[in-house]
Every structure is written in C-alpha cells, then in structure tokens.
Amino acid sequence: MTLRHIHPRHWGWGLLALYTALFFVFVFAPIAVVVAVSFTAEQGVQFPFRGTSLQWYVRLWEYKPFVDSLITSIYLALASAVSAMILAVPAALYLGRAGNGATATAIASFLLAPLAIPALVIGMSLLYFLSAIGIGVSFTALLIAHTVVSIPYVMRTTLSVYRNINQNLGEAAAVLGASPWRAFVHVTLPLIAPGIFAGSLFAILVSLDNLALSYFFGTANVTTLPVVMLSYMQNQFDPAIAAISTVQMAISIILLLIVEKTYGLRALTTQ
C-alpha cells in the first residue's frame, strides 16, 4: 500500500498519535533527566553518566538545611490543610444548600479567587496586611498564607462531592429524631469524607511546592524546602538538588496514588 492509498482518516489518527507521543516526551523527559541525575556518580550535571551512586541522597541528610526545611514544609502543609478544612467545609456545605443564587455565587467566587490571582500578588498583599496587624514574617504568617491558597482546593472537592449525594438522607435522619449535629456526624460527614480527604491532599501538595508565598514569609530559622532549594542553587549547583527534587516528586506521587486508590480522582471531579 502506497502513501497515496492511505485514507485521510488514518493520517489524522497517525498525526494525533505522534502529537500525543511528543507531548508525553516533552512533559516527562525533564523529569526523567532529573531523576537520572540524582543517581549519578559525577560531581556535576553532565552527560553521559560514567557511573551511578547514592552519594547525593547521603548529601541530603548531611546538609542540615535540607532536612530542617523538609520537616518545616511537611508540618506547614499538614497544618494549612487542617486549617483549610475548618474554614472550607462549612462554606462548601452552605454553598451546596444555597444552590446557584447570587449570594452563593459571590461567595464561591471569593473563595476560589486564590486560584486565579497570581501567588506574587497574594504574597505581597498578605505581607502588607499581616504586617499592619502586627504579624510579621513568621511561621504564623506562613500558615495563614498557605491556608489562603489551600482553601479553594478543599472547598472545591468537598462541594463537588456534596452536590452529588442524596440530600434526602440528612432529612431522613432528622425525621428519625437525630439532632442536626448527629445528622451531620453520622450521615453527611461520612458521605463528603472523600471530597475532604482529596482536597486536603491537594492542599498539602500545593503547600509543599509553594515558593512564592514561602519566600515572602520565611525567616532564617523557619523556611520551607522550595526556598532552601532556590538558595542552594544560587550558591552551588550539584546533583544534590536533583536528589531533593526527586524526593519531593516521590512525596507528591505517593499522595496522588493515595487519593486514586482510596477514592479515585475521577469520582471527585464530577458535578
């Protein structure tokens, strides 16, 4: 069969397959290079590799700022996720019950605004505001800033799940004599738990990878891993930065796999 006899539809599918393959190469090739560099025995980033070694992962534990900042980042991510849950879950329940009215739409837009506003603008605004009320650069300021950008993720997934549950179940519990609190704890909360869980993990991922806000509010004693990585690369560039990047990616992948295996990502994004 010559090229002239190939059906145009087959050309379309072939070009689509080629485009898809090139797209995945474009996305995953840099990640694969970073992971490969983290295992090199060389003292710098160069190709081809002449051997493999775990020396750069050992370097992570020897370089105290990496370990301290990683612990701070994990603690901050967990604290901001919990804070976001406390604020976002009641808002999601209200919006789910309010429907699509003007007030509910305005509140939803306000809570989702951090997704649309650049992190640099949020950081600068919070810096001026928190300084004006007496909260300077500190862990508290970091927690407030990370909570602000975490709220949309928890609210969005919780609201998505809440709108898909049977609202009559809560009413049935009330008819059977359950108080509003008991109906929420024993009926509503278990049903919306997948959304809260997934939103919290997404909030943790965003917090672990957030550089802009952490750069504004970090101090010499309290700083996050992305800020330390940036500072490290400004002074020296060796495969240790690839090793800590690989560890950071591994944490993100593990969290996403937990969401997928526990509840499934597709079930959490349907309206």
Domain-wise residue ranges, the chain: 3-38, 63-268
Q: What is the mean pLDDT of residues 108-113?
A: 85
Prediction pTM value: 0.79
* Higher-scoring residue by pLDDT: 80, 217: 80
Residue 183 has, within 13 A of its CA and on its CB side, a CA count of: 14
> Which pLDDT does position 271 carry in this prediction?
44
> Which pLDDT does position 75 carry in this prediction?
92
> Which pLDDT does position 263 carry in this prediction?
62
CATH code: domain 63-268 is 1.10.3720.10
Q: Is the pLDDT at 269 greater than 60, yes or no?
A: no
User: Which tens digit of pLDDT belongs to each residue from 174-202?
Assistant: 777 777 788 777 888 888 888 888 888 88
> Which pLDDT does position 1 carry in this prediction?
47
> Which pLDDT does position 189 carry in this prediction?
85
